[in-house]
């Protein structure tokens, strides 16, 4: 990438000419960052109404966009603040605070191993993609994919209750969906949608959840609609794929070598009724099969387990399509 994204470039630098008349009084005065107003900094980044005084060499070392920008001679009469040019940005101040914390207050060589919070990861992704901060974006994306797996074998730990990655994702599932949609991180969307459905009630999906910091977050109408459609699709396909052996099809159950057909048939009917009346979405891909085959003879148990594994694989393969996405092999993340 050359760093010439027009959306970035049009937002990154504006003249700081003062406004005349009453309009000037309506413009909020910018505030200086308490943490990043560095006395010998030589450029000021103004994210909305927050100013950060930093070193252009530090940011341009990691960002091709800023490196290209600083290589262009600036107007002689450009307004300055304490001798520094001002670059106006539309980004959220919190995103820049998080990124500058990494640049100035974190050992850069440990970026890929730090136990970052979800807000920090979101800032790394958002600014990393916009300003071509490749190392930070890649580190954040790798961390996010570790906690929102894209392979069934790794998801098994999560779905079986091992709480893989809960430390950073719990309470931020809606935010993960939002940033994945915003930045085109399509590969994580199926599991991100699925986590929302299995971790929260319909009421929470409709009315929002609390983040760990106490703030409330709501789903957009479009995201909510996708989730509800996906929920319906998963419910409709649980018995078609994962638990098709419970439907009573004589081709699958009881098995040909069943040692107690009457007992196994009664057990199957009981499990089917229980699951039908209280169907849980996490059963679609859960690693727990034992509770659904209790009472089967050893031969039917073995046969049911085989059908369950293959059915779960089929449902996993179709999971993206339940949310209106392409199949797994066609889910590609947007390039920087």
Give 162-192 pLDDT, tens digit per residue: 554 445 667 889 999 999 999 999 999 999 9
Segment 250-270 mean pLDDT: 88
Cis bond before residue 254 (omega within 30° of 0)? yes
Provide the pairing of β-strand 80-81 with 84-89. Answer: antiparallel
Give the residue with greater pLDDT, 126 vs 213: 126
**pLDDT for 1 beyond 70:** no
Segment 107-113 mean pLDDT: 56
**pLDDT for 245 beyond 80:** yes
Report the chain's mean pLDDT, rounded to a whole number: 84
For position 151, what pLDDT does the model report?
87
Spatial separation of the C-alpha atoms in residues 162 and 155, rounded to whole Å: 10
Candidate from 43-52, 53-62, 246-255 with smallest mean pLDDT:
246-255
Q: Count how many Cα atoms sit within 13 Å of the Cα of residue 248 in the half-sphere of its side chain.
A: 9
Record the tokens describing residue 26, joined without a space. Answer: 């309506």
CA 2 remoteness from chain centre? 27
Segment 95-116 mean pLDDT: 77
Give the residue with greater pLDDT, 154 vs 114: 154
For position 288, what pLDDT does the model report?
77
Segment 38-51 mean pLDDT: 94
Spatial separation of the C-alpha atoms in residues 216 and 94, rounded to whole Å: 17
**pLDDT for 335 beyond 90:** no
pTM of the model: 0.80
Record the tokens describing residue 320, joined without a space. Answer: 């993206």
Candidate from 179-188, 216-225, 288-297 with smallest mean pLDDT:
288-297
Cβ contact 56:43 at 8 Å = yes
User: Could you tell me the CA-to-CA distances from 214 to 16, 79, 211, 318 in Å, in that order?
Assistant: 37, 41, 5, 36
3-state DSSP helix/strand/coil % of the chain, to nearest 5: 55, 10, 35
Segment 7-30 mean pLDDT: 45
For position 220, what pLDDT does the model report?
94
For position 12, what pLDDT does the model report?
35
Q: Which residue(s) pair with 209 in the sheet?
A: 217
- At 197 the three-state DSSP class reads helix
Q: Which residues contact 103 (CB under 8 A, 6 or more apart)?
A: 54, 58, 59, 62
**pLDDT for 139 beyond 90:** no
């Amino acid at each position: 990438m050359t760093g010439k994204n027009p959306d970035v470039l049009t937002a990154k630098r504006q003249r700081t000419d003062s406004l005349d008349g009453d309009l000037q009084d309506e413009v909020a005065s910018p505030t200086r960052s308490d943490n990043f107003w560095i006395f010998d900094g030589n450029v000021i980044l103004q994210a909305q109404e927050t100013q950060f005084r930093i070193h252009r060499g530090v940011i341009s070392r990691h960002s091709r966009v800023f490196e290209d920008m600083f290589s262009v001679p600036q107007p002689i009469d450009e307004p300055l603040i304490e001798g520094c040019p001002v670059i106006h940005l539309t980004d959220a101040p919190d995103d820049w605070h998080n990124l500058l914390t990494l640049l100035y207050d974190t050992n850069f060589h440990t970026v890929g191993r730090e136990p970052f919070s979800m807000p920090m990861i979101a800032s790394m992704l958002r600014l990393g993609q916009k300003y071509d901060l490749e190392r930070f974006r890649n580190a954040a994306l790798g961390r996010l994919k570790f906690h929102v797996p894209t392979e069934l074998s790794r998801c098994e730990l999560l779905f079986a209750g091992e709480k893989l990655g809960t430390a950073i994702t719990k309470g931020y599932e809606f935010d993960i969906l939002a940033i994945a949609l915003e930045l085109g991180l399509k590969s994580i969307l199926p599991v991100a949608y699925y986590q929302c459905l299995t971790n929260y009630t319909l009421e929470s999906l409709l009315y929002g959840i609390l983040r760990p910091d106490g703030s409330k977050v709501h789903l957009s109408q479009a995201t909510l609609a996708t989730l509800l459609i996906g929920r319906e699709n998963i419910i409709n396909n649980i018995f078609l794929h994962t638990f098709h052996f419970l439907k009573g099809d004589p081709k699958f159950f009881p098995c040909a070598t069943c040692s107690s057909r009457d007992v196994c048939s009664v057990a199957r009917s009981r499990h089917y009724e229980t699951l039908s009346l209280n169907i849980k979405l996490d059963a679609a891909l859960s690693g727990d099969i034992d509770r659904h085959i209790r009472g089967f003879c050893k031969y039917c148990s073995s046969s049911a387990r085989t059908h369950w594994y293959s059915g779960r694989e089929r449902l996993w393969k179709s999971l993206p399509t339940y949310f209106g996405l392409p199949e797994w092999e066609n889910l590609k993340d947007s390039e920087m």
